[in-house]
Amino acid sequence: MSLPLVRPSRPPFALNFSLAAVVYTAAVEPPACSGPPLRLLAILEAYSITGPAKNLLEFARLAPAFGIHTTIATFTRDSAPTLFTETARSLGVPVELIPERGPLDSSVPHSLHALAQRLQPHIIQSHAVKSHFLARRAALPSLAPWVAFHHGYTWPDLKARFYNQFDRWSLPAAPKVLTVSQPFRDELISRGVPTSRIEIVHNAIRLDWGASQPDAAARLRAQLNIAPDKKVILIVGRLSREKDHLSLLRAVHQLPAALAPHLLIVGDGPERPRIEELIGQLNLSSSVTLAGHQNSAEPFYAIADLAVLSSLSEGSPNALLEAMVTSVPAVATSVGGIPEIVTHDESALLVQPRDVAALSAAMTRILSDPDLARRLVTRAQSLIRERHTPEARVSRLAGIYRALLGA
C-alpha cells in the first residue's frame, strides 16, 4: 500500500552555513596542562555524524587545549570523501583511511598495525565492535595502551547479533573499557571484562547546540507542510527495533483528539517498512512525517514541542541531551543510562518501555500543561551545564589517559 508520507530525496531543510562551522564552534578556555603532549589514535568506522562520531569529533576539537592531539583512523572501500571525514578534516583533525575490500579483509589488521607503528601514539582508542576486534587482531595493545569505547549494541538482524559477540573476545583484553551507563557496565562484566577496568563516562553536548537562524522554524514547517499552530512531537534516531517507534505510533494514536499533534520522525534504518505499515493501519498518514536521514537534527528541535525516546535500550543518548539543551521537554523510557541523566517529573517524564498507555499519558501531560513543560526544561538545562559539557568530558578522559600511561 502506498502511503502519502514525506520522502525527501535530499534533506528537507538546509542551513546556510557549513556543518563544521555550526556543529563545533564553541570557544574553549585552555586549562593549564602538565606533562608532554599526548598523541592519540582513535579508530572508528563512520560515514555520517553518528552519536559516537559526534562525540569523538568534539573531543578531537577540544583536546589540544588539554595537551592531547588526535588522529582518526577510519575504513574505506572506495576512498570517496564522506560527511564524517570531511567534517573531521574541516576541523583540522588528521584522518587516516584504512582500505578494505570487504568485512573480512585480512589486510586490514596489517594496515592498522603499520599505521600505529608509523604514528607511535601514546594511547590507542577504539569505538564499537568492529574497531575493538581489529584493534586486538592487529596486536595494537603491544604498541600502546588501548582504551575501548563501548557504546552499546544495535540488533537489526541476526548478522549484527553475531558480530556483537566478537566483543566477548576483544574487550577482556583492553586495559581500559569506557562505557556510558551502569546497565552497559553490568553487561560488560557479564561478557568477561574485569570490573576494575570499566569506567562510565556520559556523553556531552555544547551549550549552544541547536542555535538556529531566526526564521529557521517557520521555513522548516513550511517545507514539511506542518501548520504554524500544530504541536510537533519529535523523535530522532535510527529506525531500528531497539528504538521502538511502533509503540510510539500506537501511543500517538491514543492521544486526545483535541491535541491533534504532528509526529516528526527523523532518521532512517531497517524498521522503516514496518513503521510505514503501522502508520497506514492506524490511519496516521496525515499526521506523521518521515523525514529520513539528516546530516544534523539541529533544525528539527526548533519546531518541536516535545521530544520522545521510546527506546527499549539506550546508553547515554545524544537525542536526550539535544532535547535538554534546546529547551524541548522530553518523555523517555526508563532504560539504560536515561535515569542516570534525568529524573522523573523533575527534568523529564519517564515511563516503562513498551507501555503504550503510559507513554501516551506522559505526552498528553506535557502537551497540555505549559507550566510543567517549562519546569522540566529549566531543570534539564541546569543539568546540561552541571554535568554534560564537552569540556568536562574531555577533562575526564584526559585524566583517564594520563593515569593509564602513568600506570
Q: What is the CATH number of the domain that holds 335?
A: 3.40.50.2000
Region of 124 (left: φ > 0; alpha: ψ -120 to 50; beta: rest) is: beta
Three-state SS at 195: helix
Statement: residue 40 has pLDDT above 90 = yes
pLDDT at 13: 37
Statement: residue 188 has pLDDT above 90 = yes
Query: Over pLDDT 70: what percentage of the chain?
Result: 90
| Top-confidence residue, 21 or 278 | 278
Q: Give the chain's mean pLDDT.
A: 89
Q: How much is the average pLDDT of 306-316? A: 96
Nearest to 238 by CA among 175, 313, 150: 313
pLDDT at 80: 85
Per-residue DSSP letters for 304-331?
A: -SEEEE--S--SS-HHHHHHHHTT--EE
- pTM for this predicted structure: 0.86
DSSP category for residue 78: S
Tell me the helices (H) and strands (E) count for the chain, helix number first: 17, 13
Tell me the pLDDT tens digit for each residue of 359-377: 999 999 999 999 999 999 9
The total of structural domains in the chain comes to 2
Q: Which three cell numbers stand for residue 362?
A: 506522559
Q: Which three cell numbers stand for residue 366?
A: 506535557
Q: 104 and 176: one domain?
A: yes
Strand partners, 83: none
Tell me the pLDDT tens digit for each residue of 233-262: 999 999 999 999 999 999 999 999 999 999
Tell me the pLDDT tens digit for each residue of 290-305: 999 998 899 999 999 9
Query: SS in 3 state form for 88-127?
Result: HHHCCCCEEEEECCCCCCCHHHHHHHHHHHHHCCCEEEEE
Least confident of 7-11, 103-107, 177-181, 400-404: 7-11
Three-state SS at 56: helix
pLDDT band at 155 (very low <50, low <70, confident <90, very high): low
Statement: residue 20 has pLDDT above 60 = no
Q: Is residue 356 part of a domain?
A: yes
Q: 376 and 393: one domain?
A: no
Q: 194 and 257: one domain?
A: no
Q: 192 and 238: one domain?
A: no
Q: Is residue 161 part of a domain?
A: yes
pLDDT at 135: 96
Q: 44 and 172: one domain?
A: yes
**Distance set, CA 66 to CA 28, 35, 36, 393 (Å):** 10, 10, 11, 11
Q: 52 and 119: one domain?
A: yes
Q: 53 and 105: one domain?
A: yes
Q: Which three cell numbers stand for residue 320?
A: 536526550
Q: 225 and 97: one domain?
A: no
Q: 315 and 269: one domain?
A: yes
Q: How far apart are CA 17 and CA 230, in angstroms?
A: 28
Strand partners, 139: none
Most confident option among 75-79, 313-317, 370-374: 370-374
pLDDT at 161: 79
Nearest to 266 by CA among 291, 303, 230: 291
Q: How far apart are CA 239 and CA 245, in angstroms?
A: 7
Statement: residue 15 has pLDDT above 50 = no
Q: How much is the average pLDDT of 306-327? A: 96
Statement: residue 276 has pLDDT above 50 = yes
Tell me the pLDDT tens digit for each residue of 51-70: 899 999 999 999 999 999 99
Instruction: Catalogue the long-range contacts made by 364-371 (C-beta closer than 8 Å, 24 or more residues apart).
Output: 364/255, 364/256, 364/259, 366/305, 366/306, 366/329, 366/331, 367/231, 367/233, 367/255, 367/259, 367/261, 367/305, 367/306, 368/259
Domain membership of residue 56 as a residue range? 37-204+389-406
Helices 83-90 and 51-62: angle between axes, nearest 10 degrees? 10
